[in-house]
Amino acid sequence: MNANSFKKCFVSVVVILSTLCFAFCPESYAQSGVRTEVKIPNISGYITLKCDFHMHTVFSDGKVWPTIRPDEAWREGLDAFAITDHLEYLPFKNDVRPNPNRSYELARPIAQALGLNIIRGAEITREMPPGHINAIFLEDANALATKEWRDAVKAAVQQNAFIFYNHPGWQQPEEKAVWHPEHTELHEKRWMHGMEIVNDDSYYPLAHQWAIEKRLTMLGSSDVHNPTNLDYDFYSGRHRAMTLVLAKEKTKEAIKEALLERRTVVYWRNTLIGEAEYLREIFKAAIEIVDPDVTIRGKGAANIQIRNRSEIDFELTADGAIGQISFPQDITLFGDKTVLLKISGASDSTAGKEKIRIPYRVKNLLTAPQQGLHAALVLDVNFIPTEKKKN
């Protein structure tokens, strides 16, 4: 055996032994990593679960073995994920025996050892229309491998899957989302439950608006094919796109219930996208005014300490004015930090204690395309006049 042959043989043995270790010794594998929690708070009545329901492995066109995906998910602070390999697009079929269930079966022991919920899924991969459609909470992905795309979706429906339209702007001019009669058909049959309004680094405003109008669950997904550390510079604060699922408990059943009830928020870059009621609850849970009782003498100033317990830099811009005080037009409440907000009295003669609601709009909490969340910072202000009394 020459040196090159020996080297190839040695590398193959190492890869096989590593894979066997991952498959049969998941507990020891888990101890080798470090988890970075996603700092977005729970809200009243719900747990904020961090999820990614769209990713690939070598069993379709991904570049990793399935056991890598749960390790990445755990390290990056996820609570649940789905591997959704393509049913029809299999560029490695000469190297890896096609089996749409196999990636889930290989990844499941690792995920369970790490305390993650792994959900069986698949991607129905057809030309537009209808394009690419994900089905998760499947019992058997093989049943979706049909010639006619409608039969594939029907098979998913028969398994009570959660079904969503993937990257609606992919390969479209300017990545503008498209909606065809076929999507109307799926929606009217209730065979479509959700839509990706964010896929990887792309946000689709039209899809966001459609999700609101058609009452579809909003999803954000990584659609990752490479190892995640090749696509995201974690040291600079980047993270994968994900779906925050507001679930009653940390179980697959609770996740599915929340998805069907549209209790989701999309986390993309430094932005949250979702229904106003959920965004407002997350903002309220994240922000604490350290001492909301403030005293202002005349036109004097006061500094308000505002603590942000989340990792998101909330970008606030004024949404109106208040007669009693002046306050900054723009302020950023930096993630995991405490920021000073300087306010000043508007008159020397104002007297008495008042509850003041400082009106802001949070630009990076999107309730609709280009529409930030209305929010207020609430203070109890004791105004002490400084104007001299006339004799």
First to last CA, the chain: 110
Could you tell me which CATH class the domain 23-269 is placed in?
Answer: alpha beta
Q: Is the dihedral of CA 220, 223, 227, 231 positive or negative?
A: negative
In 171-222, the DSSP E strands lie at 194-199, 202-203, 217-221
Please give the pLDDT value at position 391: 52
Q: Does domain 285-384 have CATH number 2.60.40.10?
A: yes
Domain ranges for the chain = 23-269, 285-384
- Rounded CA-CA distance 285/268 in Å is 19
Please give the pLDDT value at position 153: 98
Dihedral angle at the C-alpha atoms of 7, 12, 13, 18, nearest 10 degrees? 130
**73 alpha-carbon distance from chain centroid:** 13
Six token digits for residue 200? 């990887």
| Cβ neighbour number for residue 391 with a 10 Å cutoff | 3
Check: CB of residue 219 under 8 Å from CB of residue 133: no
- Rounded CA-CA distance 344/347 in Å is 9
Please give the pLDDT value at position 184: 98
**267 alpha-carbon distance from chain centroid:** 3
Adjacent-strand bridge partners of 361? 317, 374
- Rounded CA-CA distance 59/74 in Å is 21
**For the residues of 164-178, what is the DSSP string, one character each?**
EE--TTTTSGGG---
- Answer whether 23-269 and 285-384 agree in fold: no
- Rounded CA-CA distance 375/318 in Å is 10
Please give the pLDDT value at position 388: 64
Q: Which stretches in the chain have pLDDT values below 70? A: 1-32, 388-391
Please give the pLDDT value at position 33: 85
